[in-house]
Amino acid sequence: MQGSVHIHIESHRCCYDFTLRKPVTVLADDGATGKSTLYRLLSFRAGVEISTSCELIPLTEFTWRAALEYCKNKRQIFFTDEYHHFALTKEFADLFMQTGCYLVMITRDTPKFLKPCDTEKCAVKTENGVSEFVVCDK
């Protein structure tokens, strides 16, 4: 997958509207901004409206390896939450980079096995009820 991907996710209470510009988006900010709420919305998506050209896949401790190994569709975007330390491993990075897909990872750790040039660090900012990804200062 190449280029920008626009994603709109909406529930009764929350609205996320953001664009991914690089293969890896790292969400790390001050806390209580709605990062894990986004992951939760994707995990339990009954009643959640999603508008995007890609398939959104929240990974878990038990599904990530199979999801990456058997990935046939390059238009997938994987999501990991803060406590998913598997996303920091070399095995994960190697498998992910073979997929050609995009990744949104919630972590304050440095994903050192992923290429920095493919990575954008963002924070979630909410204004007028809409949460966006804002690029952090380098």
**Which residue in 89, 104, 102, 95 sits closest to 69, CA to CA?**
95
Q: Cβ neighbours of residue 137 under 8 Å, at least 6 residues apart? A: none
Binds another protein (CB under 8 A): choice among 40, 45, 65, 125: 40
Binds another protein (CB under 8 A): choice among 9, 20, 26, 29: 29
Q: Does 14 bind another protein (CB under 8 A)?
A: yes
Q: Does 28 bind another protein (CB under 8 A)?
A: yes
What torsion do the CA atoms of 102, 44, 81, 79 make, to the nearest 10 degrees?
0
Binds another protein (CB under 8 A): choice among 5, 37, 71, 95: 37
Report residue 95: phi and psi, to 5°.
-65, -40
Contacting range for another protein; rule: CB under 8 A; set: 33-41, 44-52, 63-71, 94-102:
33-41
Query: Kind of pairing, strands 76-80 and 55-58?
Result: parallel
As a whole number of angstroms, the distance between CA 40 and CA 62 comes to 16
Least Cβ distance, residue 30 to another protein (angstroms): 4
As a whole number of angstroms, the distance between CA 125 and CA 77 comes to 21
**Residue whose token pair is 């804002």:** 134
Q: Does 137 bind another protein (CB under 8 A)?
A: no
Binds another protein (CB under 8 A): choice among 2, 3, 4, 13: 13
Least Cβ distance, residue 52 to another protein (angstroms): 22
Which residues in this chain contact another protein in the complex, by CB under 8 A? 13-14, 28-32, 34, 36-37, 40, 81-83, 85, 88, 107-110, 112
